[in-house]
């Protein structure tokens, strides 16, 4: 179904923070009825599967306040206003795990939770890695973990990795690697 027949009648800003803005919209539905929709506006984000020449990837373990637990994730970060996703990916890869990548391939882009948010997430495969110096943000406390790509997929299967972008990134990287680098799988 297209946007045809849907009309935003009124938008009220309820909250404006550093990461998100929350709106309550009054909308007209295709049947003529009115309804409210809560909308979270987000600048967007990136996630990177950093694959080394031996078939290993880098994950970060960090506490996520919203979940109340530590999660294993691929390196990732929020877009800055006006920042291109690939530039953000390069910046975040260096900040979080201390690597540059010579080769970048976009694996996917998708809405993370389109029922209430416009956040677009861009996933990349970063290869031909070169070591640099990590410099996480002051409020980031990360443990960098290196695992074979196949083991990362097994960790998804064992439900040890619960983060959606990481699950998608690892699965897409496995598909890519099976075609491009069969010796890594």
Report the pLDDT value the prediction gives residue 70, as an integer from 0 to 100. Answer: 97
**What pLDDT score was predicted for residue 181?**
59
Residue 22: which of 95, 117, 106, 89 has the closest Cα? 117
What does the pLDDT read at residue 179?
Answer: 72
Three-state SS across 24-68?
EEEEECCCCCEEEEEEEEECCEEEEEEECCCCEEEEEEEEECCCC
Q: Is 138 known to be catalytic?
A: yes
Please answer whether residues 58 and 143 qualify as being in contact, where contact means their C-beta atoms are separated by less than 8 angstroms: no
- Provide the 10 A C-beta neighbour count for residue 19: 10
- Output the tens digit of pLDDT for each of the chain's 185 residues: 347 778 999 999 999 988 899 999 999 999 999 999 999 999 999 999 999 999 999 999 999 999 999 999 999 999 999 999 999 999 999 999 999 999 999 999 999 999 999 999 999 999 999 998 876 667 768 899 999 999 999 999 999 999 999 999 999 999 998 876 565 55
At 1 the pLDDT is 36
127: helix, coil or strand?
A: strand
Residue 117 DSSP code: B
CA separation for the pair 66, 151 (Å, rounded): 27
Q: Tell me the C-alpha to C-alpha distance, in Å, between residue 34 and each of 27, 28, 37, 87.
A: 6, 4, 10, 41
Tell which phi-psi region holds residue 180, choosing left (phi > 0), alpha (psi between -120 and 50) or beta: alpha
CA angle 24, 29, 34 (to 5 degrees): 55
Q: For 123, which DSSP code?
A: E
Q: Catalytic one among 83, 96, 138, 151?
A: 138
């Amino acid at each position: 179904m297209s946007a045809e027949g849907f009309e935003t009648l009124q938008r009220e800003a309820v909250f404006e923070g550093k990461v998100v803005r929350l709106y309550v919209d009054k909308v007209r539905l295709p049947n003529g009825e009115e309804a409210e929709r809560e909308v979270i506006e987000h600048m967007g984000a990136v996630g990177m599967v950093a694959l080394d020449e031996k078939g290993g990837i880098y994950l970060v373990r960090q506490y996520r306040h919203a979940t109340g637990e530590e999660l294993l994730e691929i390196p990732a970060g929020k877009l800055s206003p006006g920042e291109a996703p690939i530039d953000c990916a390069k910046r975040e890869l260096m900040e979080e795990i201390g690597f540059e990548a010579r080769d970048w391939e976009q694996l996917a882009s998708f809405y993370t939770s389109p029922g209430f948010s416009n956040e677009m997430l861009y996933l990349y495969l970063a290869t031909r890695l070169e070591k640099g110096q990590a410099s996480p943000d002051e409020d980031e406390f990360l443990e960098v973990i290196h695992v074979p790509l196949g083991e990362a997929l097994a960790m998804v299967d064992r439900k040890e990795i619960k983060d959606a972008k990481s699950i998608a990134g690892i699965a897409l990287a496995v598909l890519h690697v099976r075609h491009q680098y069969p010796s890594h799988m």
